[in-house]
Amino acid sequence: MTHKKRIGVIYGGRSCEHEVSLASAVSVVRYLDTEKYDIIPIVIMKDGAWLWNVEPGQLLQASSDPELAAALASAPVVSLATDTQSRQFFALQNKQPLPADGRLDLLFPVLHGPYGEDGTIQGLFEMANIPYVGCGVLGSAVGMDKEIMKVLFQAAGLPVVDSLVYRHFQWKRDPEGLLNEVEQRLSYPCFVKPANLGSSVGVSNARNRQEMARAISEAFTYDRKVIIEQGLECREFSCAILGNEYPLVSQVGEILPGDEFSDYEDKYVNHTIQFVIPSTLPAETARELREMALRAYQALDLSGLSRVDFFQDKTGGQFYINEVNTLPGFTDMSLYPKLWAASGLSYPELLDRLIELAVERHEIRRSLRSRR
């Protein structure tokens, strides 16, 4: 009998993208092949507690079901051992034993935003010497930080829109001076974003000084750094990447926002966002975008997966790379799996391939010398 891999699907997290992660995890757990894998869902609650074997679908239902919520609250609180040998989770709460073997073969993080997509939890997995799906520590960290990401894009010769970055102490020290500088160097409208966040959380379109001040204050509630980008009247495009040393790039898709830009409500509440896959771009233009996406992937030293997003200025037709998303949304309605489905790779096949890539990268790291 073939050994079934024990896959820990880690979801939830401490970031404000917690609910997005729950929705993604529902699809991942549903589509993982139970003929191949034993699946252990592990939720990271907003307070940071890790709960063993809690189904994401149940957690979503628990908000309206007090009895179910009470049952889930009794799930074992666990921690990951970091002894580099065991790949073991153990119980913390009253030292109770886990209801099943706590050893896992691989971790599949379905976490969005800080403390899940930014390299922090990837560092924990590296310390524990356990294979995991997705980008490594460096790629995750620079893929989350929009300031550093753009610096690396520019070093690779990739076009980006003009932008300014400020720290919170600069805003507190001289807000009027900061606003004056923004107005001198950029023109309205501008997009204001937390530098380290995703899912369009905290993003605003500022069309005048009053809106700019309000948008900056809002963005600083999510991060200590804020990036202000020159606004464009633009079309939005995206493509998906899958692989380690020899990554593949999907077809190009176009994003059609339900509002003036793709915000959180558009994506996850109202579901008004639409995708055109493949895009209507000429074949040569689509090929150029796919090449740019691959250069971005390599410039940030990414692995496993990523989605790369672009803007096209409607006025001059110029393309700009917007950002990469190293753990994109993973519901069956999300753009990343849809791009691969249109490119001939079904959702279950995509999950299988991501697990294979995680094992492949882990084996390469294991082969490296750690001492003289």
User: Could you tell me the CATH number of the domain that includes residue 169?
Assistant: 3.30.1490.20
pLDDT at 42: 95
CA 178/CA 285 separation, integer angstroms: 38
Q: 57 a known binding residue?
A: no
By residue range, what is the domain housing residue 38? Answer: 5-132
Q: 232 a known binding residue?
A: yes
Question: Which residue, among 253, 242, 363, has the nearest Cα to 302 in the 3D structure?
Answer: 242
Query: For each successive 10 residues of the chain (372 residues), what is the average pLDDT?
Result: 85 91 96 96 93 91 82 84 77 65 92 93 93 97 96 97 98 98 98 88 94 97 96 96 97 86 50 90 98 98 97 96 95 95 97 98 87 67
* Residue 371 within a domain: no
* Residue 103 within a domain: yes
- 19 in catalytic set: no
Whether 97 and 22 map to the same domain: the answer is yes
* CA-based R_g, the chain, Å: 21
CA 349/CA 263 separation, integer angstroms: 30
Question: Which residue, among 280, 232, 227, has the nearest Cα to 289 in the 3D structure?
Answer: 280
Annotated catalytic residue within 15, 279, 334, 343: 334
* Residue 369 within a domain: no
Question: Which residue, among 22, 2, 6, 4, has the nearest Cα to 100 in the 3D structure?
Answer: 6
Whether 188 and 279 map to the same domain: the answer is no
- Torsion of Cα atoms, 214 then 215 then 220 then 223, to 10°: 170
Annotated catalytic residue within 17, 19, 117, 254: 17
User: Could you tell me the CATH number of the domain that includes residue 57?
Assistant: 3.40.50.20
- 260 in catalytic set: no
* Residue 54 within a domain: yes
pLDDT at 97: 60
Question: Which residue, among 363, 367, 370, has the nearest Cα to 130 in the 3D structure?
Answer: 363
Q: 199 a known binding residue?
A: yes
Q: Where are the alpha helices (DSSP H) in 8-101?
A: 18-31, 56-62, 66-73
Whether 149 and 178 map to the same domain: the answer is no
Residue 89: which H helix or E strand, with range?
A: strand 89-91
Q: 356 a known binding residue?
A: no
Annotated catalytic residue within 21, 27, 140, 199: 199
Q: How many structural domains are present in the chain?
A: 3
Whether 155 and 106 map to the same domain: the answer is no
Q: Whole-prediction pTM value?
A: 0.92
pLDDT at 199: 65
Whether 18 and 82 map to the same domain: the answer is yes
Q: 193 a known binding residue?
A: yes
Whether 170 and 317 map to the same domain: the answer is no
* Residue 137 within a domain: no
Whether 201 and 226 map to the same domain: the answer is yes
CA 214/CA 158 separation, integer angstroms: 31
pLDDT at 95: 55
Q: 309 a known binding residue?
A: yes
CA 260/CA 240 separation, integer angstroms: 24
Whether 256 and 198 map to the same domain: the answer is no
pLDDT at 108: 98
Query: pLDDT digits over 32-67, tens only?
Result: 999 999 999 999 999 999 999 999 998 888 878 888
- 334 in catalytic set: yes
Q: 35 a known binding residue?
A: no
User: Could you tell me the CATH number of the domain that includes residue 355?
Assistant: 3.30.470.20
CA 26/CA 258 separation, integer angstroms: 25
Whether 95 and 185 map to the same domain: the answer is no
Residue 365: which H helix or E strand, with range?
A: helix 347-366
Give CA 230 to chain center in angstroms: 23
Q: 191 a known binding residue?
A: yes
Whether 80 and 226 map to the same domain: the answer is no
Q: Pull the structure tokens for residue 286.
A: 């689509």
* Residue 214 within a domain: yes
Contact status, residue 285 vs residue 306, Cβ threshold 8 Å: no
pLDDT at 66: 83
